[in-house]
Amino acid sequence: MTNDNRSALVLSIYLNTRGFAFIVFEGRLSPYDWGIREMRGPRKANGCLLRISQIIDRYAPDVLLTQDTSEQGTRRARWISKLNGSIAELAKDRGIPVFAYSRAQVRAAFDEHGGLPTKQILAELIAKEIPAFEQYVPPPRKPWMSEDRRMGLFDAAALALVFFR
């Protein structure tokens, strides 16, 4: 069921080793809702798929964005690649078009800001474009630190900004 009075919704999902981050956009710079879901244990792929299914049912997006984890796209862990495929199937079963962008495509989209940006620089650029995310920019990572869980939110936002461009 679709509501003709609402704006088109774009759901961007970024999978990572801890779970996933998602953002629902009503327009290019208009995030409607977002979140980070952490999953642990041997069945985290199933847990992620269930949560993503609930998010899709809740928002009924018009478009779904994911990272391209095909052989030509971005290399990721096998379970993440399989889960990305399952998410795409889930969306197609519900008649939602799926667009996937590789890490190289995301970096190329932000190339105009001077060279190939790091994830930290991407997060800062996105926070400048979308002020609602300024409070989520993690501090710069030290070599001994693991990636901050909030970085997935900026990876999801980057996928959406590539789509809107």
Q: Has residue 113 got a pLDDT over 70?
A: no
- Neighbouring residues of 81: CB distance < 8 A, sequence distance ≥ 6: 69, 70
107 is a domain residue: yes
- 135: containing domain: 10-164
The confidence score (pLDDT) of residue 1 equals 43
Please check whether residue 16 lies inside any domain of the structure. yes
CATH number of domain containing 18: 3.30.420.10
Output the six-digit token pair for 29: 């710079």
Cβ atoms of 6 and 25 within 8 Å: the answer is: no
151: Cβ contacts below 8 Å, ≥ 6 apart? 16, 119, 123, 138
Q: Which residue has the tokens 């970085």?
A: 151
Question: Which pLDDT tens digit goes with each residue over 46-105?
Answer: 899 999 999 999 999 999 999 888 777 778 888 888 999 999 999 999 999 999 998 888
Predicted local distance difference test score (pLDDT) of residue 49:
92
CA distance 165 to 160: 9
Tell me whether residue 35 is in a domain.
yes
Q: Lowest mean pLDDT of 5-9, 48-52, 112-116, name the range.
A: 112-116
Query: Are β-strands 10-16 and 19-27 bridged in parallel, bridged antiparallel, or unpaired?
Result: antiparallel
Query: Using one digit for the tens of pLDDT, what is the confidence trace for 134-152?
Result: 999 988 888 888 888 888 8
Q: Is residue 52 part of a domain?
A: yes
Q: Per the structure block, which two tokens stand in for 135?
A: 């409070």
Provide the pLDDT confidence category of residue 115 given band limits of 50, 70 and 90.
low
- Residues paired with residue 24 on neighbouring β-strands, in sequence order: 11, 33
Long-range contacts at 132-136 (CB < 8 A, ≥ 24 apart): 132/31, 133/31, 133/157
Q: What is the pTM of this model?
A: 0.87
Could you tell me if residue 73 is inside a domain? yes
More confident call, 108 vs 59: 59
Bridge partners, residue 15, by sequence: 20
Residue for token pair 């796209």: 73
**Total domains present in the chain:** 1
Tell me whether residue 152 is in a domain: yes
pLDDT over threshold 60, residue 11: yes
pLDDT in tens, 16-56: 888 899 999 998 778 989 999 998 888 888 899 999 999 99
Residue with token string 């629902």: 24
Number of other residues whose CB lies within 10 A of the CB of residue 88: 17
Residue 2 included in any domain: no
